[in-house]
């Protein structure tokens, strides 16, 4: 998935690449102003070292958090798996 976002194959995801990918994949309609705020927030959330680029390890860290969160939610919904 990282390679899809990294459209120029530079090894990092730049702001413009993230914006383009979100334009193509976001299913929730937003005004241009709200969309730009959303992209900015997502970029800042992903760019942990604040270098203005999203490294592969920063990108993967978010997916690890999502996966762990989903696993916790599944355990809460199905407490019988705890036994």
What DSSP letter does each residue of 9-58 carry, written as one string? -SSSB-HHHHHHHHHHH--S---HHHHHHHHHHHHHHH-TT-SSSB-HHH
Q: How confident is the model at residue 18 (pLDDT cuts 50, 70, 90)?
A: very high
CATH number at residue 63: 1.10.238.10
Count CB neighbours of 40 within 10 A.
13
* Percent of the chain residues past pLDDT 70, beyond the cut: 77
Q: How far apart are CA 23 and CA 60, in angstroms?
A: 21
Quick check: 77 pLDDT over 70? no
Among 6-15, 25-34, 41-50, which is the least confidently predicted range?
25-34
Q: Give 5 or 80, the one with higher predicted confidence.
A: 5
Count of structural domains within the chain: 1
- Identify the domain containing residue 60 by its residue range: 2-82
Burial label for 39, CB within 10 Å (0-12, 13-18, 19+), is: buried
pTM of the model: 0.74
Q: Give 73 or 58, the one with higher predicted confidence.
A: 58
């Amino acid at each position: 998935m990282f390679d899809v976002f990294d459209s120029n194959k530079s090894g990092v995801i730049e702001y413009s690449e993230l914006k383009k990918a979100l334009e193509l994949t976001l299913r929730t309609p937003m005004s241009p102003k709200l969309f730009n705020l959303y992209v900015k927030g997502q970029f800042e959330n992903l760019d942990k070292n604040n270098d203005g680029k999203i490294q592969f390890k920063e990108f993967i860290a978010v997916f690890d958090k999502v996966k762990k969160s989903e696993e916790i939610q599944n355990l809460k919904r199905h407490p019988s798996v705890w036994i």
